[in-house]
């Protein structure tokens, strides 16, 4: 297997407090504990603008804890986070509320309101956070649903939809506020292989059409290598390795190699060769 650069070598060369169009989110020395449990220890990570960035790691490695810091849903014990050159940890409450509009969240199980129709679910953020008219909201919702192949579902309830369709509705809802960054928490969990591929295509299509930066947490290795432009491996409370998908697939790091091989794929390097085909 080819040698690959470690995370500290592959992170962007410019100082993190200097705006750099390539990197949308930049994290330095991020540390977080819950009581005596150290979860993140001086994490360094750069996430590339308008690309699909996947964070991999074992269960309990701290992936969800890490991405919650991006929106300041959690505050670190120490460290820094810059988004578009803005030090998000320095924002006051009002500025932070506005800044969070940059983000869209697609939850693991879609997190739709069962008592609301698809249209009502997607309209909810617009009603809560904008002053748009009913007709404007209806048009925006129809556009997002149509872009994701969900025409005709407006009056259906979540319980009437398949798991894959619910994921699509969750993405449509996340897109109505025109976020710059979309975060996906285990988007293919519980789906069959065909539905998983459909969700992968949905993530790629959304990134292409809306030019968003995608941040994905996933355990589905086949899915990861279909969609990822960059992969970061979170292990032992730090980013062990980060870089383009083909570089990670060819890693000579023992943990990375075993982690990928344990996914059930016998020839790890072939993951990258077949990615996005």
Kindly state the tokens that stand for 8: 């500290």
Specify whether the CB–CB gap between 225 and 250 falls below 8 A.
no
Give the Cα-Cα-Cα angle 106, 109, 115 (nearest 5 degrees).
100
Residue 261 confidence (pLDDT): 79
- At 109, the pLDDT band (50, 70, 90 cuts) reads low
Quick one: pLDDT at residue 168? 85
Q: Is the pLDDT of residue 258 over 50?
A: yes
Domain membership of residue 161 (yes or no) is no
What are the Cα distances from residue 159, in Å, to 111, 118, 121, 264?
Answer: 12, 10, 13, 33
Is residue 169 in a domain?
no
**Higher pLDDT pick, 218 / 263:** 218
DSSP character for 226?
H
User: Rounded to a whole number, what is the largest CA-CA distance in the chain?
Assistant: 57
User: Crossing angle, helix 118-129 and helix 134-147, to 10 degrees?
Assistant: 130
**pLDDT class for 16, splitting at 50, 70, 90?**
low
Tokens of 121: 């679910």
According to the model, what pLDDT value does residue 18 have?
A: 55
Of 202, 105, 115, which Cα lies nearest the Cα of 158? 115
Mean pLDDT of 99-122: 87
CA angle 212, 214, 220 (to 5 degrees): 150
Given a cut of 60, whether residue 1 has pLDDT beyond it is: no
Most confidently modeled of 13-27, 206-220, 263-277?
206-220
Residue 63: Cβ within 10 Å count: 23
Cα–Cα distance, 208 to 156 (Å, whole number):
27
| 131, part of any domain | no
Q: Is residue 5 part of a domain?
A: no
- CATH of residue 61's domain is 3.40.50.300
Chain centroid offset of residue 235 CA = 18
Does residue 149 sit within a domain?
no
At residue 145's C-alpha, the angle toward residues 143 and 151, to 5°, is 100
The CA distance from 251 to 2, in Å, is 6
Q: Which pLDDT belongs to residue 53?
A: 96
Confidence at residue 223, expressed as pLDDT on a 0 to 100 scale: 86
The answer to whether position 9 is within a domain reads no
pLDDT at site 110: 65
**Which tens digit of pLDDT belongs to each residue from 147-196?**
888 888 999 999 998 888 888 898 899 999 999 999 998 888 777 888 88
Range of the domain at 103: 21-112+179-273
Distance CA 273, CA 99 (A): 38
Instruction: Give residue 12's pLDDT band: very low, low, confident or very high (50, 70, 90).
Output: very low
Strand order in the sheet with 181-185: 103-106, 181-185, 213-217, 52-56, 230-235, 238-244
Instruction: For the full predicted model, state whether its pTM sits above 0.75.
Output: yes
22 φ/ψ angles, rounded to the nearest 5 degrees: -70, -40
Domain count, the chain: 1
Cβ atoms 116, 124 nearer than 8 A: yes
In a domain, 102, yes or no: yes
Contact between residue 227 and residue 203 where contact means Cβ atoms under 8 Å apart? yes
166 inside domain: no
For the segment 27-62, what is each residue's pLDDT rounded down to a tens digit?
999 999 999 999 999 999 999 999 999 999 888 889
- H or E element in which residue 181 lies: strand 181-185
């Amino acid at each position: 297997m080819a040698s690959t650069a470690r995370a500290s070598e592959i992170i962007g060369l410019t100082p993190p407090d200097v705006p750099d169009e390539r990197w949308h989110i930049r994290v330095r020395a991020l540390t977080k504990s819950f009581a005596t449990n150290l979860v993140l220890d001086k994490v360094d990570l750069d996430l590339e603008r308008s690309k699909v960035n996947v964070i991999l790691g074992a269960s309990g490695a701290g992936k969800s804890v890490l991405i919650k810091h991006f929106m300041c849903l959690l505050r670190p014990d120490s460290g820094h986070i810059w988004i578009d050159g803005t030090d998000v940890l320095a924002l006051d409450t009002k500025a932070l509320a506005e800044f969070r509009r940059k983000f869209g969240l697609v939850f693991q199980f879609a997190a739709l309101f069962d008592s609301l129709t698809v249209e009502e679910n997607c309209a909810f953020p617009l009603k809560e956070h904008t002053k748009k008219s009913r007709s404007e909201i209806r048009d925006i919702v129809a556009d997002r649903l149509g872009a994701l192949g969900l025409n005709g579902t407006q009056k259906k309830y979540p319980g009437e939809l398949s798991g894959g369709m619910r994921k699509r509705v969750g993405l449509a809802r996340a897109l109505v506020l025109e976020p710059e960054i979309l975060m996906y928490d285990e988007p293919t969990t519980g789906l069959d292989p065909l539905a998983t591929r459909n969700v992968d295509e949905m993530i790629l299509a959304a990134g292409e059409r809306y030019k968003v930066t995608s941040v994905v947490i996933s355990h589905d290795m086949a899915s990861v290598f279909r969609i990822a432009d960059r992969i970061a491996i979170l292990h032992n409370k730090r980013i062990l390795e980060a870089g383009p998908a083909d570089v990670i697939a060819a890693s000579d790091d023992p943990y990375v190699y075993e982690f990928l091989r344990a996914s059930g794929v016998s020839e790890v390097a072939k993951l990258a060769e077949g990615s996005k085909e």
